[in-house]
Amino acid sequence: MAETTYEPDLTGLLIVDPYNDFLSEGGKLYQLSRETLASFHVVEHMRQVLAAARSRGIKVFIAPHHRWRDSDRHLHWKTMPPVQASAYGNRVFADGTWGGSFHPDFVPLPGDVVALEHWMSSGFANTDLDLQLKKHGLRKLILIGMRANTCIESTLRFAAELGYEVTVVKDAIGSFGHAEMDASLEFNMPAYANAILSTKEVVDKLSK
């Protein structure tokens, strides 16, 4: 396989669900995420990848999960998968709250693109993310954020189906435990990602 390259005119950095509820102490999902966040220094690695991408002139995209809103009480959907029902029931990423705000290190800057919120896991399903990427002429993605075996993996799979070349930064993603991380990184993601690299490897490539 050819070496992965990151031309600024072809590549976007995609940050998935960088909410305080996931990444900041006191967030609703932080204790569940804490083990992997600490083991892999995920937030620091996300910062490093983001800084390197900005320095290289790579455009930044954020794929945010649906924020819980009071109007969600009246959805009355006939079907709701367990992962979605859990987020709904716990009012995760509640709109207008600290937990439903982006971690301060990943607040978008002017020129960054925030896609429409995804309802469940894939950053592409029922959003404008694919359109936004295509409008900017991009076909390569560097993927970081949360959560490895749900939103990261679903977004990766959907991106591959759409023809994008995707790099997953393996120590700039987190999950609710090492078993989830291992399952995704060892068995699932290699079938869809063009590269699974460490933060150091990606930053080194972006610095050339």
* Mean pLDDT of the region 39-58: 98
Q: Does residue 3 lie in a domain region?
A: no
C-alpha 40/C-alpha 185 separation (Å) is 13
Q: Output the pLDDT for position 156.
A: 98
The 165-174 sheet, strands edge to edge: 113-114, 59-63, 11-16, 140-146, 165-174, 195-197
What is the number of other CB atoms lying within 10 angstroms of the CB of residue 114?
15
Does residue 23 lie within any of the structural domains? yes
Residue-wise pLDDT tens digits, 180-208 = 999 999 999 999 999 999 999 999 999 98
- Domain-located, residue 40: yes
111 within a domain of the structure (yes/no): yes
pLDDT at 89 over 80: no
pLDDT digits (tens, 9 = 90+) for 91-147: 899 999 999 999 999 999 999 999 999 999 999 999 999 999 999 999 999 999 999
Domain count, the chain: 1
* pLDDT at residue 85 greater than cutoff 90: no
Q: Is the pLDDT of residue 50 over 80?
A: yes
Instruction: Tell me what pLDDT residue 93 has.
Output: 95
38 in any annotated domain:
yes
Tell me if 2 is assigned to some domain. Answer: no
In a domain, 36, yes or no: yes
CA distance 62 to 133: 11
Residue 167 has pLDDT above 70, yes or no: yes
- Within a domain: residue 4? no
Q: How far apart are CA 161 and CA 123, in angstroms?
A: 13
Residue-level pLDDT at 124: 98
pLDDT at 160 over 80: yes
Strands 140-146 and 59-63: unpaired
Contacts of 154 (CB under 8 A, 6+ apart): 120, 121, 122, 123, 125
Tell me the CATH number at 22: 3.40.50.850
pLDDT recorded at residue 1: 58
Q: Which domain holds residue 195?
A: 11-206
Q: What is the pLDDT of residues 22-41, one digit of tens each?
A: 999 999 999 999 999 999 99
